[in-house]
């Protein structure tokens, strides 16, 4: 056990997933509510503690103040902050509350600000992704299923495991820490798996290398060379 992770049995986990000489995996965490006591935020904060235990570096984006997509210029400070974090990260955790059977507008707005390409850089392609949701009612997988579709559209590698926390208001104590339970253990599973897959893809970038994009890049290079020759 550790003071920072009182519900984690350290004898059954390892904090040596990342070698002593290796760069820490950079993980960005997004949540989908601006409420003062946002359970998606509390779950993300719990996830960040676990990721750091497994050797990752984490950053959490606060969506408060982010304008609606297309309702402000792209140089808005909150938009720029989000885009910089997107490019900084190697992997991501997405967590949204379930609203009317779907992800929240707060969460979707964050992804809608992210283009598939920023100049020559694809800000999400090939990055790992873990998906989670919180619900006010009984168990549901509506949001995590939608987040998987969204992650695939953003060309991310979504790991097999996921976390769905029903009746989230019962799962956190007065100190806003997640209580010990099988639901907490699942969050541990997901974060451990995310770090492992992130390290795997770092070592094997060819696993997400695409023929069609290599062909497109080669054609673009040929066109530039021909233009210089004119």
Q: What is the pLDDT of residues 178-218, one digit of tens each?
A: 999 999 999 999 999 999 999 999 888 777 777 877 887 78
Token reading at 215 = 């062909």
Q: How far apart are CA 39 and CA 132, in angstroms?
A: 11
Q: How far apart are CA 137 and CA 100, in angstroms?
A: 11
Q: Name the more confident of 193 and 19.
A: 193
Residues, the chain, total? 230
- Is there a contact between 63 and 126 (Cβ–Cβ < 8 Å)? no
Q: For residue 1, is pLDDT > 50?
A: no
In this prediction the pTM is 0.89
Q: What is the pLDDT of residues 110-156, one digit of tens each?
A: 999 998 877 667 889 999 999 999 999 999 999 999 999 999 999 99
φ and ψ of 68, to 5 deg: -65, 145
Q: How far apart are CA 21 and CA 129, in angstroms?
A: 24
The angle at the Cα of 222, spanning 219 to 226, to the nearest 5 degrees, equals: 140
Q: For residue 91, is pLDDT > 90?
A: yes
Q: For residue 3, is pLDDT > 70?
A: no
């Amino acid at each position: 056990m550790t003071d920072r992770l009182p519900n984690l049995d350290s004898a059954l986990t390892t904090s040596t997933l990342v070698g002593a000489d290796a760069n820490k995996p950079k993980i960005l965490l997004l949540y989908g509510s601006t409420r003062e006591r946002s359970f998606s935020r509390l779950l993300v904060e719990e996830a960040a503690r676990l990721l750091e235990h497994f050797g990752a570096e984490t950053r959490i984006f606060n969506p408060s103040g982010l304008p609606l997509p297309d309702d402000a210029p792209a140089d808005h400070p909150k938009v720029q902050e989000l885009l910089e974090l997107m490019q900084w990260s190697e992997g991501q955790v997405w967590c949204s509350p379930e609203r009317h059977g779907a992800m929240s507008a707060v969460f979707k707005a964050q992804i809608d600000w992210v283009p598939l390409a920023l100049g020559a850089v694809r800000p999400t392609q090939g990055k790992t992704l873990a998906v989670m949701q919180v619900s006010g009612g009984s168990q549901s997988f509506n949001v995590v299923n939608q987040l998987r579709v969204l992650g695939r559209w953003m060309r991310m590698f979504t790991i097999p495991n996921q976390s769905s926390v029903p009746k989230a208001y019962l799962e956190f104590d007065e100190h806003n820490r997640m209580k010990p339970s099988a639901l907490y253990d699942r969050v541990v599973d997901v974060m451990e798996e995310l770090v492992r897959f992130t390290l795997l893809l770092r070592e094997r970038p060819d696993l997400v290398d695409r023929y069609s994009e290599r062909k497109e890049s080669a054609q673009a290079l040929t066109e530039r060379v021909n233009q210089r020759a004119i």
